[in-house]
Structure 1
């Protein structure tokens, strides 16, 4: 069965291209490697181009072509979603070529690479903190950048993730009945995150934690801790009396009042 001419032509071109690539890859002509790597990059063949770039990037440092090569080298890692190396290489680019026309783009992509490395909230958040630091640095350095709005959105997303982790840690203390640690954690959260979407729940859960600490205390500490819980109730109602958690808070407060009356009227023997 004869293959159509078009298919034969495509196969011939493909084989020829592969052969040429292997030849350039093997030989020591860095000029050809540079030109071929650039061509592959422009065509979106990043993995092939990367192999050539890895061979020649050190050889072009300090040369006129080095600026473009180092940028597309970093951007190749970025396009391949290897964000560790992309962030690192973009950082190196900004340090090596601070006057480059591409330095703003490189700074943003470096920061965004660290954003991309940020894991889900339940895991270690070192990369999230690094991403926040780099994005804020970009915003401060380029306040008029057309990437500023996107950078601010990424900052808000990373901050919300850190807030969520801090809030969930406090909730976990409540769930395992470590009420003292829960109260302290919710106190810190409320102080550190004044605009958080979890602030209402933090106020409520601090009150619940104080209530549960009180009713599970030894008798001599119950009244003192019930009074503290009342204070947390008042703080919650000050800001959130019209929210969906208010009715549950009132029920708990009514139980506190009953317990207070009972304790105060119990005769001492």
Structure 2
């Protein structure tokens, strides 16, 4: 019985492959379209894609072209070829602005760019492009069913840019380039005012300004201590219950102790 089932399966597979090969070589566009849809529905996107690619030019301007172009675009997306998928979905949305699939196609075009966004530690050109494309979709289709997901994707991408900028500033602190670290954290705080990393950024900015002041040459030290003191007080006002508070208080105590030396000198 098992042998019989195996033979049936092998024959079925051979028949399916044979039908596909015949369709590839056929001049009958309707046959290619029909089999392409069947292959698409069964999840065989690469085979469907090859058949659709052969007939796209023949259906241009015909009633079936809209459905064909939608399925063709989808095959690239399902195959994770996001560069081409984004391009094809944009073409679809541009060619069929009145289609019932236009907002979905526009969303998937933007999401294809999202899928190309790399990890935060790499160049973020693709991330910025994805944010731009998703924002265009949000502005164009404010009532779309895909709006919640689009907003979620933008939030994820924004955080990736925040994380990139934050880690660059933090890296300056690690290599003891405290002035560059302070400037980078200032830029971060300005560029991402609502960031969830704001508390960390303010702390590491303080940490960098404290280390810069403590390790300064004498003629720069007092001014830098005052700057560090201001950063400490700003942090305390902003995050009174911070996990960093013990460290901040220790720094502030030391800063004030060192500033007393300058008060003593001024009075002698």
Same fold (TM over 0.5): yes
Deviation for aligned residue 1:98:
1.2
- Structure 1 residues not aligned, in runs of 5+: none
Could you say what secondary structure the match of 1:28 adopts? coil
1:104 counterpart residue number: 103
Pair 1:244-2:243 in alignment:
yes
1:191 counterpart residue number: 190
Aligned equivalents of 1:241 and 1:232: distance in 2? 13
* CA RMSD after TM alignment: 1.8
Number of aligned pairs?
Answer: 268
Aligned equivalents of 1:97 and 1:267: distance in 2? 78
1:10 counterpart residue number: 9
Runs of 4 or more, structure 1, over 4 Å off, are 266-269
Deviation for aligned residue 1:22:
0.6
Instruction: Sort the Cα spacing of 1:3 and 1:256 in 2 relative to 1 into closer, same or farther, 3 A.
Output: closer
Aligned equivalents of 1:267 and 1:154: distance in 2? 58
1:223 counterpart residue number: 222
CA deviation profile, 1:191-226 (whole Å, cap 9, x unmatched): 111211110011111111111112222211100111
Deviation larger for 8-17 or 179-188: 8-17
Aligned equivalents of 2:137 and 2:146: distance in 1? 9
1:118 counterpart residue number: 117
Deviation larger for 86-95 or 11-20: 11-20
Pair 1:33-2:35 in alignment:
no
1:19 counterpart residue number: 18
1:51 counterpart residue number: 50
Aligned equivalents of 1:151 and 1:267: distance in 2? 61
Deviation for aligned residue 1:258:
1.6
Deviation for aligned residue 1:158:
0.9
Aligned equivalents of 2:219 and 2:88: distance in 1? 63
Pair 1:84-2:83 in alignment:
yes
Aligned equivalents of 1:79 and 1:180: distance in 2? 48
CA deviation profile, 1:241-264 (whole Å, cap 9, x unmatched): 211111100101111112112244
Aligned equivalents of 1:230 and 1:46: distance in 2? 63
Could you say what secondary structure the match of 1:155 adopts? helix
2:151 counterpart residue number: 152
1:138 counterpart residue number: 137
Deviation for aligned residue 1:266:
4.6
Compute the TM-score of the two structures, normalised by the length of structure 2.
0.94
Deviation for aligned residue 1:151:
1.2
Deviation for aligned residue 1:3:
6.5
2:175 counterpart residue number: 176
CA deviation profile, 1:100-123 (whole Å, cap 9, x unmatched): 111111011111111111111101
- Structure 2 residues not aligned, in runs of 5+: none
Compute the TM-score of the two structures, normalised by the length of structure 1.
0.94
Deviation for aligned residue 1:12:
2.1
Could you say what secondary structure the match of 1:44 adopts? coil
Aligned equivalents of 1:21 and 1:188: distance in 2? 58
Deviation larger for 164-173 or 5-14: 5-14
**1:58-69 correspondence runs (5 A):** 58-69=57-68
